[in-house]
Structure 1
Amino acid sequence: MKILLFLFLCSVLSYSSAINVTQCHDIDKPVEGLTDRVKVGSCKKPPCRLRKNTVIKVQMKVTPDRDVDKILNTIHAYIAGVPFPYPGNDQTDACKNMYSEDGKNFVGCPLKKGQDYLYKNDMEVLQIYPRVKAVVHWGLTMPDGKDIICFEVPARITN
């Protein structure tokens, strides 16, 4: 019995530490199953290690709750509680990153309410970035300022 309990606890812990993304605080309607919808490179447990001179692939399964004509990337890192925008990606057009649900076909915008899409983007971790702990904030934001989906994940920039 103790062995079964131990195995069960190990499986629960390994499952729950899949990536440990959290909802952004300012999102109106929480996204169900957010952890299952987001992939940040090969990160399996926090903090995600972001190695300098690498490219991290970020994917999100997106299901808008209304028709969307335009969306922006909202990407920054909180370092010591201060938000630093991600250069070259923050406040850029996210429509260029929208694909069919299987990720094979580029679809762009507009997005239809209730339809599943796959957002794919690359995050370059430059050599000049300092070795720090941060919380990465990644959202897809409509022109009215509301997020379609948004997550935050602890990260550490490493050599």
Structure 2
Amino acid sequence: MKIVVCSLLVLSVISCIQAVSVSQCHDDETPLDDLSDRIKIGNCRKPPCRLRKNAKIAFEMKLSPDRDITKLTNSISAFVSGLPLPFPGYDQTDACKGIYSSDGKTQVGCPLNKGEDYLYRNEIEVLQVYPRLKLVVHWGLVDQDGKYLICLEVPARITN
């Protein structure tokens, strides 16, 4: 019995270390059970993720489209006190530039084929002028038809 309890505890700790707890956007059409396992945000292990001023925060997301994709656009904003504020220079930009093969070695861009695995990479610069505050980061990839391929939200806070 002790072995089983210890094994479960170790597995729980490992799963917490490997994934960031994120939630899917409410308007996302395709629910994903393993969303937290698909995402990597800087060195964040659990929310709220710390976004340090004067730093670039790396973002990775594993993708496997359920349809063919010819174009992807970033939808990146911060919800501050419930109000969406777009990230200037990132929101509504071409997301195809950040599409890589599933091993992350080759930049492949668009189009994306249904059922194939890809890795999306991007980074956001947290400017010194940003105030220290708590927020929810909304990050989505919108296809050529205006539908989300994937969309997530994660609590964060801007720190010095």
CA distance in 1, matches of 2:91, 2:32: 22
Identity of aligned residues (%): 58
User: SS at 1:123's partner residue?
Assistant: strand
State the one-letter code of the partner of 1:99. Answer: Y
User: SS at 2:29's partner residue?
Assistant: coil
CA distance in 2, matches of 1:81, 1:50: 19
Deviation (angstroms), 1:142: 1.1
State the one-letter code of the partner of 1:117. Answer: Y
Question: Is 1:26 the counterpart of 2:27 in the alignment?
Answer: yes
Question: Is 1:150 the counterpart of 2:151 in the alignment?
Answer: yes
Deviation (angstroms), 1:78: 0.4
**Relative to structure 2, which stretch is displaced further, 49-58 or 12-21?**
12-21
Question: Is 1:89 the counterpart of 2:90 in the alignment?
Answer: yes
2:20–2:47 Cα contact (<8 Å) kept: yes
- Report what 1:15 is aligned to: 15
State the one-letter code of the partner of 2:146. Answer: G
Q: What count of residue pairs does the alignment treat as equivalent?
A: 159
CA distance in 2, matches of 1:132, 1:10: 34
- Report what 2:44 is aligned to: 43
- Report what 2:122 is aligned to: 121
User: SS at 1:134's partner residue?
Assistant: strand
State the one-letter code of the partner of 2:101. Answer: S
**112 and 11 in structure 1: CA distance in 2 versus 1, 3 angstrom threshold:** closer
Deviation (angstroms), 1:145: 2.0
Question: Is 1:58 the counterpart of 2:59 in the alignment?
Answer: yes
State the one-letter code of the partner of 1:12. Answer: S
Could you tell me the TM-score, scaled by structure 1's length? Answer: 0.92
Deviation (angstroms), 1:61: 0.5
Task: Specify every segment of 5 or more residues in structure 2 that has no aligned partner in the other structure, as ranges.
Answer: none
**Relative to structure 2, which stretch is displaced further, 137-146 or 52-61?**
137-146
- Report what 1:79 is aligned to: 80
User: SS at 2:154's partner residue?
Assistant: strand
2:69–2:114 Cα contact (<8 Å) kept: yes
Q: Alpha-carbon deviations, 1:13-53, whole Å to 9, x = none?
A: 66347311111110111123111111000000110000000
RMSD value over aligned CA atoms?
1.8
CA distance in 1, matches of 2:4, 2:75: 44
